[in-house]
């Protein structure tokens, strides 16, 4: 294998390099290694890459490296198909520019107050990330000045096509300086996108991250669609029942290796991190401990795990999906060594399902869907372990006379049977780790049609029912979504009068609430669909007038008629959403109130009503 390209080989600016260090990226992903040098040199690119490949950093890092913060007119414009993606990309820019003083990025999308956007645009932004419709509006009004634009990025171009934005995109391209640099990213390459590339890209370098790799026949490959349960809980459930010897768990960042190792250690597993920050000696020692049974689980980044050859590694877990099939094949090749059989488990977030399909296609081997171990399975496993301990103790301890006498006396004195005493002792023994386990499992949204979906079909409609083109689409999980419980201190459960029978989908509900009542989608929690109605978790203390407005909002042509939910909590299709916990100010200003994280609807410790941001 040739020497890997490192970030230090890529000539990114010092400030950007510091930010990369800070977020803990160890090595550029393949699309980053290929795209960054070209974008840094001012070239155009056509990147065929899907979500999960690291494509956002592939354009953000080089473009930020060339930004001039003294110039306040937008220098970079990113077009994204949905408001959710626009926000995500803007957040990514903010993260990668954290070491660039005075940097401003502005997301603009439909559904957001125009006046807020106008004011922000007036203040100036170095990078604008927007949905095509809203960007067009601002260009027409003259509120967005692109005369000094240096670079234009079209993110998820095929999605913009699918959602009917392609004419708008071309219109915007026509209204930007011809001298601009252009980068287009698309997971697929339909002819309309080819046409855009031919007409608007200049001598573009085509980057395609897909390689055909074969995997070992003796490795069983399964995936779990991240849904309903967070990844850490899912992992611990798997660890409980999977008969593993040694295990390597792959994550994306150095920081994650350490964090996950600590969490597993806290749960009683012998686990250690393995990452590029550790010196050679320490890394070798860790692998040696794995070889000699002193350590069972290693949590590694791709770089650090390169070439590990430990026979007892029976399992590889891809906790974070790899960037491409090559990395996948390399990772899972750490098991099934020396003719043994191995198992590879892959966690796939809903938005990464295309990447799963790509990996499957490239490796020419099916990766089958796995169910998380059920409560009954875990219970059976714990009971087996428990009874085995009794058998082992009876066999190993030749002299239990002292305990026999003690309990015989107790039995006699208190007139209880030996079984009753044994039950009490067994109960006491399992208090910390109960033998009977129950999980409230949520059927993942994707599981029901997962096979169809893997052909790349996406059942979510592009435009929502109310004609708002930019809003309304729930982009699904941001990877690790713990299930929101109703008793979450920040949320109340509301009932809305649309349900499955009205063909309502979670995306419609999020879109309607977000767009029409102006509650940002990041504050919208758990959604549960029933036949005739649904429930949705919203921040506590929503203002009365906002609720009144929400009552009239329509989904599938039916008014929501929202009311506080007082019904039973059973049944329904659940859709976990994780509203951001950080409800504080977004501009880095000091937080109000005494606590570190003020609760929604609280100010200076007093209850206030939650209402969407006003324009003035
Ligand atoms: P994207 O394909 O842009 O949606 O990125 C997918 C995920 O990969 C995001 O969570 C990024 O933070 C993460 N990521 C991007 N580049 C790297 C890198 N070089 N090392 C580790 N993680 C990365």
| Same domain assignment for residues 368 and 298 | yes
Return the best residue to mutate from 8, 57, 88 for the ligand 1 pocket (most ligand atoms within 8 A of CB): 57
**Greatest C-alpha distance within the chain:** 96
Nearest atom, ligand 1, residue 351 CA: 4
| Same domain assignment for residues 128 and 185 | yes
Closest residue CA from atom 16 of ligand 1: 54
Q: Does the pLDDT of residue 463 top 60, yes or no?
A: no
- What are the distances in angstroms from CA 160 to CA 94, 167, 571? 23, 10, 36
Segment 407-416, tens digit of pLDDT: 999 999 999 9
Whether 493 is covered by a domain: the verdict is yes
Segment 10-32, tens digit of pLDDT: 999 999 999 999 999 989 988 99
As a whole number, mean pLDDT of residues 139-156 equals 96
Return the best residue to mutate from 26, 29, 94, 479 for the ligand 1 pocket (most ligand atoms within 8 A of CB): 29
Domain termination site, one of 164, 189, 208 = 208
* Range among 100-109, 542-551, 602-611 rated most confident: 100-109
| Same domain assignment for residues 174 and 228 | no
- What are the distances in angstroms from CA 29 to CA 47, 286, 330, 335, 363? 13, 25, 14, 23, 19
Going by pLDDT thresholds of 50, 70 and 90, the confidence category of residue 532 is confident
Whether 363 is covered by a domain: the verdict is yes
Nearest to 80 by CA among 168, 195, 205: 168
Going by pLDDT thresholds of 50, 70 and 90, the confidence category of residue 505 is confident
| Same domain assignment for residues 185 and 251 | no
Whether 599 is covered by a domain: the verdict is no
Q: Does the pLDDT of residue 394 top 80, yes or no?
A: yes
pLDDT computed for residue 472 by the predictor: 35
| Same domain assignment for residues 61 and 139 | yes
Question: Residue 528 Cα, ligand 1 centroid: separation in angstroms?
Answer: 30
Percent of the chain at pLDDT above 70? 81
Q: Does the pLDDT of residue 602 top 70, yes or no?
A: no
CATH of the domain at 563: 3.30.70.330
- What are the distances in angstroms from CA 558 to CA 499, 519, 542? 10, 19, 22
Question: Residue 217 Cα, ligand 1 centroid: separation in angstroms?
Answer: 30
Nearest atom, ligand 1, residue 50 CA: 2
Return the best residue to mutate from 92, 98, 252 for the ligand 1 pocket (most ligand atoms within 8 A of CB): 252
| Same domain assignment for residues 259 and 187 | no
Return the best residue to mutate from 56, 81, 226 for the ligand 1 pocket (most ligand atoms within 8 A of CB): 56
Give the other-Cβ count within 10 Å of 271's Cβ. Answer: 22
223 or 494: whose pLDDT is higher? 223
Question: Residue 57 Cα, ligand 1 centroid: separation in angstroms?
Answer: 7
pLDDT computed for residue 351 by the predictor: 86
Residues with CB under 6 A from ligand 1: 25, 28-29, 32, 51-57, 252-253
Whether 450 is covered by a domain: the verdict is no
| Same domain assignment for residues 127 and 175 | yes
60 or 218: whose pLDDT is higher? 60
* Range among 414-418, 572-576, 598-602 rated most confident: 414-418
Domain termination site, one of 375, 404, 431 = 375
How is 193-216 classified by DSSP, letter by letter?
A: HHHHHHHH-SSPEEEE--------
| Same domain assignment for residues 192 and 67 | yes
Burial of 549 (C-beta count, 10 Å sphere; 0-12/13-18/19+): middle
In the chain, how many domains are there?
Answer: 3
User: Can you give the residue range of the structural domain that contains 297?
Assistant: 219-375
Nearest atom, ligand 1, residue 49 CA: 2
Closest residue CA from atom 19 of ligand 1: 28
Question: Residue 588 Cα, ligand 1 centroid: separation in angstroms?
Answer: 24
How is 377-412 classified by DSSP, letter by letter?
A: HHHHHHHHHHHHHHHHHHHH-S--HHHHHHHHHHHH
As a whole number, mean pLDDT of residues 171-192 equals 94
Give the Cα separation of 541 and 237 in Å (integer): 36
CATH of the domain at 148: 3.40.50.300
Question: Residue 53 Cα, ligand 1 centroid: separation in angstroms?
Answer: 7
| Same domain assignment for residues 237 and 172 | no
Q: 186 forms bridges with which residues in the sheet? A: 48
| Same domain assignment for residues 201 and 60 | yes
Question: Residue 139 Cα, ligand 1 centroid: separation in angstroms?
Answer: 31
| Residue pair 58/31 in contact by the 8 Å Cβ criterion | yes
| Residue pair 321/349 in contact by the 8 Å Cβ criterion | yes
| Residue pair 186/204 in contact by the 8 Å Cβ criterion | no
Whether 387 is covered by a domain: the verdict is no
Nearest to 475 by CA among 530, 516, 521: 521
Question: Residue 28 Cα, ligand 1 centroid: separation in angstroms?
Answer: 9
Q: Does the pLDDT of residue 575 top 70, yes or no?
A: no
Nearest atom, ligand 1, residue 29 CA: 19
Whether 186 is covered by a domain: the verdict is yes
Q: 154 forms bridges with which residues in the sheet? A: 79, 184
Nearest atom, ligand 1, residue 479 CA: 10
326 token code pair: 């090559």
Domain termination site, one of 309, 342, 375 = 375
Closest residue CA from atom 5 of ligand 1: 54
Question: Residue 496 Cα, ligand 1 centroid: separation in angstroms?
Answer: 36
Question: Residue 115 Cα, ligand 1 centroid: separation in angstroms?
Answer: 33
Q: Does the pLDDT of residue 605 top 80, yes or no?
A: no
| Residue pair 309/339 in contact by the 8 Å Cβ criterion | no
pTM, two decimals, is: 0.56
Nearest atom, ligand 1, residue 88 CA: 4
Give the Cα separation of 32 and 30 in Å (integer): 5
Whether 479 is covered by a domain: the verdict is no
Return the best residue to mutate from 54, 94, 277, 476 for the ligand 1 pocket (most ligand atoms within 8 A of CB): 54
Question: Residue 54 Cα, ligand 1 centroid: separation in angstroms?
Answer: 4
Mean pLDDT of all residues in the chain?
A: 81
Closest residue CA from atom 12 of ligand 1: 54
Q: What is the dihedral of CA 68, 72, 74, 76, to 10 degrees?
A: 20
As a whole number, mean pLDDT of residues 279-285 equals 88
| Same domain assignment for residues 228 and 288 | yes
Whether 390 is covered by a domain: the verdict is no
Least confident of 163-167, 198-202, 501-505, 534-538: 501-505
615 or 513: whose pLDDT is higher? 513
Question: Residue 252 Cα, ligand 1 centroid: separation in angstroms?
Answer: 8
pLDDT computed for residue 578 by the predictor: 45
| Same domain assignment for residues 200 and 271 | no
Give the Cα separation of 349 and 318 in Å (integer): 12
pLDDT computed for residue 82 by the predictor: 85
pLDDT computed for residue 613 by the predictor: 41
């Amino acid at each position: 294998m040739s020497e890997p390209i490192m970030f230090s080989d890529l000539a990114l600016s010092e400030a950007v390099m510091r930010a990369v260090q800070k977020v803990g990226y160890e090595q550029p992903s393949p699309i980053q290694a290929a795209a960054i040098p070209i974008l840094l040199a001012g070239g155009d690119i056509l990147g065929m890459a899907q979500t999960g490949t690291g494509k956002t950093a592939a354009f953000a890092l080089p473009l930020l490296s060339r930004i001039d913060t003294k110039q306040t007119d937008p220098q970079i414009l990113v077009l994204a198909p949905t408001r959710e993606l626009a926000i995500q990309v803007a957040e990514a820019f903010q993260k990668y520019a954290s070491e660039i003083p005075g940097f401003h990025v502005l997301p603009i999308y439909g559904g957001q107050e125009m006046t807020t956007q106008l004011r922000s645009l007036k203040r100036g932004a170095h990078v604008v990330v927007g949905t095509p419709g809203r960007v067009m509006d601002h260009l027409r009004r003259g509120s967005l000045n692109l005369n000094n634009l240096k670079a234009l990025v079209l993110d998820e171009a095929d999605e913009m096509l699918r959602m009917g934005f392609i004419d708008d995109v071309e219109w915007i391209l026509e209204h930007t300086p011809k001298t601009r640099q252009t980068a287009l990213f698309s997971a697929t390459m339909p002819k309309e996108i080819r046409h855009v590339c031919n007409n608007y890209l200049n001598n573009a370098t085509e980057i395609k991250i897909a390689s055909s790799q074969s995997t070992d026949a003796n490795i069983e490959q399964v995936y779990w669609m991240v849904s309903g349960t967070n990844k850490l809980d899912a992992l611990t459930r798997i660890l409980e029942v999977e008969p593993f010897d040694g295990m390597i768990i792959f994550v994306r960042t150095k920081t994650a290796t350490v964090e996950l190792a600590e969490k597993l250690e806290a749960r009683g597993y012998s686990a250690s991190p393995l990452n590029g920050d550790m010196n050679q000696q320490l890394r070798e020692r860790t692998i040696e401990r794995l070889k000699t049974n002193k350590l069972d689980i290693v949590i590694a980044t791709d770089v650090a795990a390169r070439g590990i050859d430990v026979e007892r590694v029976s399992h590889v877990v891809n906790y974070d999906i790899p960037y491409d099939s090559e990395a996948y094949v390399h990772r899972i090749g750490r098991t099934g060594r020396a003719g043994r059989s191995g198992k590879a488990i892959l966690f796939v977030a809903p938005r990464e399902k295309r990447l799963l399909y790509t990996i499957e296609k490239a490796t020419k081997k099916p990766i089958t869907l796995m169910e998380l171990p059920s409560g009954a399975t875990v219970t059976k496993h714990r009971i087996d372990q428990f009874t085995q301990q009794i058998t082992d103790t009876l066999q190993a301890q030749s002299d239990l006379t002292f305990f026999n006498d003690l309990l015989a006396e107790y039995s006699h004195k208190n007139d209880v049977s030996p079984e009753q005493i044994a039950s009490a002792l067994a109960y006491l023994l399992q208090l910390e780790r109960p033998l009977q386990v129950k999980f409230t499992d949520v059927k993942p949204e994707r599981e029901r049609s997962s096979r169809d979906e893997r052909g790349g079909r996406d059942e979510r409609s592009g435009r929502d029912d109310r004609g708002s083109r930019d809003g309304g689409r729930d982009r699904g999980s941001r990877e690790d979504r713990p299930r929101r419980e109703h008793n979450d201190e920040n949320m109340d459960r509301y009932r809305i009068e649309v349900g499955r029978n009205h063909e309502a989908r979670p995306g419609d509900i999020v879109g309607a609430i977000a767009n029409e009542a102006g509650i940002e989608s990041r504050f919208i929690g758990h959604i549960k669909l029933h036949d005739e109605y649904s429930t949705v978790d919203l921040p506590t203390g929503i203002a009365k007038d906002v609720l009144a407005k929400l009552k009239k909002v329509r989904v599938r042509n039916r008014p929501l008629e929202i009311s506080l939910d007082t019904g039973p909590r059973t049944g329904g299709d659940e859709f976990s959403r994780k509203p951001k916990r950080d409800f504080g100010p977004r501009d880095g200003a000091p937080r109000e109130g005494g606590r570190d994280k003020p609760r929604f609807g609280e100010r200076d410790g007093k209850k206030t009503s939650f209402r969407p941001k006003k324009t003035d």
